[in-house]
A and B are shown apart, each in its own frame.
Chain A
Amino acid sequence: MYKIAVIGAGITGSAIARELSKYENLEVLLIEKNVDVGWGATKANTGIIHPGHEDDPESHPLRAEVCVRGNRLWHDWAEELNIPVKWPGELMIAKDEKELDKLKKYRDIGKKNGVPELRIIASEDLRELEPKVNEEAKFALCAPTAGVIAPWEAVIALVENAVDNGVKTHLNTKVEDISVEDGRISSLVTEDGEIEVDVIINATGLFADEVSEMAGKDNFEITPRKGQYYLFDEDVEEKPDKLIHPTPTEKTKGVYAVQTVEGNLMLGPTAEDLDRKSKADRSTSEEGLEFIWKHSKELLGELPSKNRISKTFAGLRPEPPEGRYRIKSYDDIFGFVNSAGIRSPGLTAAPAIAHKVKDILIEDLNIDLIEKEDWKAEREGITRLSDQSDRKKRNMIKENSDYGRVVCMCKEVTKAEVLEAVDRIRKIGGKVTLDSVKFRTLALFGFCQGSYCRSKMTEILSEELNVPMWEIEVRGEGTPYGIGDVKTLQSSEEG
């Protein structure tokens, strides 16, 4: 039996945990410092499953390989895990002959990487395929294998499935140190104590450099790169069906216009390099949003009115030196495996990275993996009333009247769904917060952004958790919804 700790419950760590849950001679722990899964780089990104024609196999062979393979794997994984996904395909657009050369370059990279179905199309076909595209676009590299997924739903699904298959989670648990004895991993130290382990897999995204350093491997630095986004209401007419983006630069894939899996128009991201200390800075800025606006104008024929903004947000992506993925073990520390530097296209690559890590266990660490006979590939998503037929809806309400209590009007989320989310959070050992319920039910995600229903949601959680409403947290420690009873400041003055 090998005890394996996967550190970091983002998209890669969760994919690895799920993959390793297949084997009966592995005891897998998934350790995460946040109170819920997927709250790092995973939470706020473009949500694209990339085809794999943007990673040059000469300079980034590993990235190219796992991207193309990950894209293929997501088809099965999404189906098994009941993760909402769409495969609209994408268009890299070009305004003139000079940019056309770039399209050809990326088509050729795609060919080398084994990306299927790439083709360059000209103006008329382009407009036929995507009428919302900017009229300046003369050519496009069409990549039908591109998809969109809700990244946080993907992580939740992976972790739920992993836990169902025996993985033990330690959320709200920060790793403080790693002990190495006689050239082997011996334990990891957390706030809550020491855990003996044989193998540590470092999947800590933005913090992979710091965790690697704990094991004595400090030869790289991860810097945060900020991406800001606009999200618009579902019913804006300007949204394209296909993903639209410009030709990439050295640094980034550029600003995308995306219809999310939920049907919202999303524009972004920026690519702002922050210093190494700013790994928590998820602020938006007027300049950043203006940058997106300017570049989005080149993608779409028309942009929606700004009063249709549903929200703006920013995420941080980990940027490793030379953009290079480090998925490897080390000869001098047996049992330490880095899955570090997983920048874009990390979401796409996650299932393939999980396979890669499994191969490392077999080939580098010489672990004979024995498959479980009763491993469950499937996981069911949360049951949403609004997805059902009228007949089904009637039955559901008859059996549980909480399905007849709509809490979030914008997304038509019912009390039963909120309570199911609470159960699911508890099952993976997470903390019930407004955000963790939001990411599971989509309540608070609609165009009122919670001004109608946040208090009602909090009331439900307060009843369920049996704590006063003001103690319910928005997103973990230090973020309570209120400061106390409404008379609290009166009494403190008198006292």
Chain B
Amino acid sequence: MKDEYECVVIGAGPAGLAAALRCEELGLDVLMIESKERLGGIPLQCTHPGFGNFYYDENLTGTEFAERLLEKDEIEYVTEAHVSSIEYVSDLKKKVKVITPDGLFSLDTKTIIYSTGARERHRFETRIQGDRLSGVYTAGEAQTLMDVYGVMPGKRVVVVGSGDIGLIMARRFALENAEVVGVIEMQPFPGGLTRNVVQCLHDFDIPLYTQKIVKEIRGQKRVEEIVTADVDEELEVIPGSEEIIECDTVALATGLIPYTKILDEMEAEVIMDPVTRGPRVDENLETNLPGIFAAGNVLTINDYVDFAAYQGEKAAESARKFVEYDGMPSKDWIEVKRGKNVRSVVPQYISGDCEVTLNVRVKKPEPEVDVIIRETDERIKTTSVNPGEMLRLDISEEKLEDLENKITLEVRR
């Protein structure tokens, strides 16, 4: 490791790897830092396909996808390295402290690409009450156990949450002959991609219970049973709807939250988006702190690994520009506001003078609707929408003409 870099990439998952590779291509002096022993991030433990359809135009498993990215490994990197702090010294200098088995290092860098991914929502962030028992895992933890360590968590499993991770883990348990009693979802619709509902649940006869929550986990030492309850449209429990399901394992797939810890601890404040819980960025994926960019799931939770990789590349291109010009050009930023049926939009600021890709998540499913800029009535796309599938909208600059200081994105008929 040197004392100084043009770019430091923190986190070597799909976004970080794609970012570092692109930095290298663009001639930046880049260092990639990874906390685990191996590069690759979460896809390393994903033995199922569904990776790379866009990025490589091939359907790969997670492991294959990570390996494909790692084929070009001429990047300088360090593994088993924990970023302990980032100090924003000036717009051109950030100090990164790194703990590794070889020592404590302090590096100066002009730019940072923050691509640390997301953590799983844990039980205390859900409505689940009851006893504190063994046999409760987050879905990703269960996946790590099975596919990294070769350990079987339990035999009679309830999966909570029908996002992609929940669906995939339900199938994963079934493939090892565990009895998957069901997947429990509080919304009236499944949270994951349609292809996963079909391939993971229907093909394995695993029931999906919608508009239901787990109220309680009960048992003496290990989980013995759960108490479920039906919920109404407002997600309020319908009294008397409680039911008991016997199981020894609860796998929680109740959502991902950007892991922003080191940014949160910085003395200089990085402004976060209360909905995505990741940093607010402009179309260059730059945060409010000059030279600090974000990409991948720490920015917004992506359904496809490919999108995380694209964000990594975008951040790398921005970092390149930053290094070349000693800062990004000043612009009149237009804030993208959330209108009807729009839950989140990333980036949160656009300039209107170039093509931009918006990552948009809706609140509820709707068939055949228009995505519209309210202020100009400009129609961007007509499509059916579903909270489980992030919309990736490429908007040409012609559609962004004559905008004021804000626009509102709406999804409507």
A272-283: CB near B (< 8 Å → 1, else 0) gives 000000001111
* B241 contacts chain A at the CB level, 8 A cutoff: no
Given the complex of chains A and B, what is the CA–CA distance between A405 and B131 in angstroms? Answer: 33
In-complex Cβ contact of B150 among A235, A452, A486 (8 A): A486
Asked if A489 contacts B176 (CB within 8 A), the reply is: yes
The distance from the CB of A3 to the nearest CB of chain B, in whole angstroms, is 34
Q: A481 and B151 in contact (CB under 8 A), knowing A280-B220, A455-B141?
A: yes
Given the complex of chains A and B, what is the CA–CA distance between A475 and B138 in angstroms? Answer: 18
- Residues of chain A within 8 A (CB-CB) of B264 are 235
* B100 contacts chain A at the CB level, 8 A cutoff: yes
In-complex Cβ contact of A309 among B97, B125, B147 (8 A): B125
- A289, A474, A476: residue with the most chain B Cβ atoms closer than 10 Å: A474
* B134 contacts chain A at the CB level, 8 A cutoff: yes
Asked if A489 contacts B125 (CB within 8 A), the reply is: no
* B2 contacts chain A at the CB level, 8 A cutoff: no
- Residues of chain B within 8 A (CB-CB) of A477 are 221
Q: A448 and B119 in contact (CB under 8 A), knowing A412-B82, A455-B149, A489-B177?
A: yes
Asked if B152 contacts A483 (CB within 8 A), the reply is: yes
Q: A483 and B155 in contact (CB under 8 A), knowing A409-B261, A489-B176?
A: yes
User: Which single residue of chain A is at the shortest CB-CB distance from B257?
Assistant: A307
User: Which single residue of chain B is at the shortest CB-CB distance from A402?
Assistant: B101
Asked if A412 contacts B101 (CB within 8 A), the reply is: no
The distance from the CB of B87 to the nearest CB of chain A, in whole angstroms, is 12
Q: Which of B147-173 contact A (CB under 8 A)?
A: 147-155
Given the complex of chains A and B, what is the CA–CA distance between A250 and B266 in angstroms? Answer: 46
Given the complex of chains A and B, what is the CA–CA distance between A286 and B152 in angstroms? Answer: 32
Asked if B134 contacts A489 (CB within 8 A), the reply is: no
Given the complex of chains A and B, what is the CA–CA distance between A17 and B80 in angstroms? Answer: 42
Q: A406 and B35 in contact (CB under 8 A), knowing A412-B84, A478-B222, A481-B134?
A: yes
In-complex Cβ contact of A313 among B99, B132, B133 (8 A): B132
* A358 contacts chain B at the CB level, 8 A cutoff: no
- Residues of chain B within 8 A (CB-CB) of A478 are 134, 220-222
Asked if A283 contacts B216 (CB within 8 A), the reply is: yes
Given the complex of chains A and B, what is the CA–CA distance between A482 and B220 in angstroms? Answer: 17
Given the complex of chains A and B, what is the CA–CA distance between A286 and B237 in angstroms? Answer: 11
- Residues of chain A within 8 A (CB-CB) of B141 are 450-451, 454-455
Asked if B99 contacts A385 (CB within 8 A), the reply is: yes
Given the complex of chains A and B, what is the CA–CA distance between A364 and B177 in angstroms? Answer: 65
* A127 contacts chain B at the CB level, 8 A cutoff: no
A side interface size, CB within 8 A? 61
- Residues of chain B within 8 A (CB-CB) of A488 are 152
The distance from the CB of A237 to the nearest CB of chain B, in whole angstroms, is 12
Main SS of the interface on chain B? mixed
Asked if A406 contacts B82 (CB within 8 A), the reply is: yes
The distance from the CB of B128 to the nearest CB of chain A, in whole angstroms, is 9
User: Which single residue of chain A is at the shortest CB-CB distance from B116?
Assistant: A409
B170-192: CB near A (< 8 Å → 1, else 0) gives 00000011100000000000000
Q: A393 and B99 in contact (CB under 8 A), knowing A410-B261, A448-B122, A478-B221?
A: yes
* A449 contacts chain B at the CB level, 8 A cutoff: yes
- Residues of chain A within 8 A (CB-CB) of B148 are 455
- Residues of chain A within 8 A (CB-CB) of B221 are 476-479
B341-362: CB near A (< 8 Å → 1, else 0) gives 0000000000000000000000
Asked if B176 contacts A486 (CB within 8 A), the reply is: yes
* B127 contacts chain A at the CB level, 8 A cutoff: yes
B216-232: CB near A (< 8 Å → 1, else 0) gives 10101110000000000
Q: Which of B92-143 contact A (CB under 8 A)?
A: 97, 99-104, 106, 119-120, 122-125, 127, 129-134, 138, 140-141
Asked if B151 contacts A469 (CB within 8 A), the reply is: yes
In-complex Cβ contact of A404 among B100, B152, B218 (8 A): B100
* B144 contacts chain A at the CB level, 8 A cutoff: yes
Asked if A394 contacts B103 (CB within 8 A), the reply is: yes
- Residues of chain A within 8 A (CB-CB) of B146 are 486
- Residues of chain B within 8 A (CB-CB) of A450 are 122, 141
| Interface range, B side | 35 or more
* A310 contacts chain B at the CB level, 8 A cutoff: yes
* B75 contacts chain A at the CB level, 8 A cutoff: no
Asked if B153 contacts A452 (CB within 8 A), the reply is: no
The distance from the CB of B37 to the nearest CB of chain A, in whole angstroms, is 9
The distance from the CB of A408 to the nearest CB of chain B, in whole angstroms, is 10
* B145 contacts chain A at the CB level, 8 A cutoff: yes
Given the complex of chains A and B, what is the CA–CA distance between A452 and B138 in angstroms? Answer: 9
Asked if A409 contacts B151 (CB within 8 A), the reply is: no
Asked if A490 contacts B149 (CB within 8 A), the reply is: no
* A96 contacts chain B at the CB level, 8 A cutoff: no
- Residues of chain B within 8 A (CB-CB) of A309 are 124-125
User: Which single residue of chain A is at the shortest CB-CB distance from B262?
Assistant: A409
- Residues of chain A within 8 A (CB-CB) of B129 are 283-286, 289, 312
In-complex Cβ contact of B151 among A451, A473, A486 (8 A): A486
A254-291: CB near B (< 8 Å → 1, else 0) gives 00000000000000000000000000111111100100
The distance from the CB of A224 to the nearest CB of chain B, in whole angstroms, is 15
- Residues of chain A within 8 A (CB-CB) of B131 are 281-283
Given the complex of chains A and B, what is the CA–CA distance between A348 and B294 in angstroms? Answer: 48
The distance from the CB of A293 to the nearest CB of chain B, in whole angstroms, is 13
Given the complex of chains A and B, what is the CA–CA distance between A310 and B122 in angstroms? Answer: 9
Given the complex of chains A and B, what is the CA–CA distance between A360 and B119 in angstroms? Answer: 54
- Residues of chain A within 8 A (CB-CB) of B218 are 283
- Residues of chain A within 8 A (CB-CB) of B102 are 397, 401, 404
- Residues of chain A within 8 A (CB-CB) of B259 are 448
- A282, A307, A394, A449: residue with the most chain B Cβ atoms closer than 10 Å: A449
Q: Can you list 20 A-B pairs, Cβ within 8 angstroms, ordered by A?
A: A283-B129, A283-B132, A283-B218, A284-B129, A307-B125, A397-B99, A401-B102, A402-B101, A404-B100, A404-B104, A406-B35, A409-B35, A409-B261, A451-B120, A474-B134, A479-B221, A481-B153, A482-B145, A486-B147, A486-B176
Known: A312-B124, A412-B84. 8 other contacts (CB 8 A): A311-B122, A313-B132, A397-B102, A406-B82, A412-B99, A469-B151, A479-B222, A486-B176
A positions within 8 Å CB-CB of B: 235, 280-286, 289, 307, 309-313, 385, 390, 393-394, 397-398, 401-402, 404-406, 409-410, 412, 414, 447-452, 454-455, 459, 468-470, 473-490, 493
Closest 3 CB pairs of A and B: A478-B221, A406-B82, A479-B134
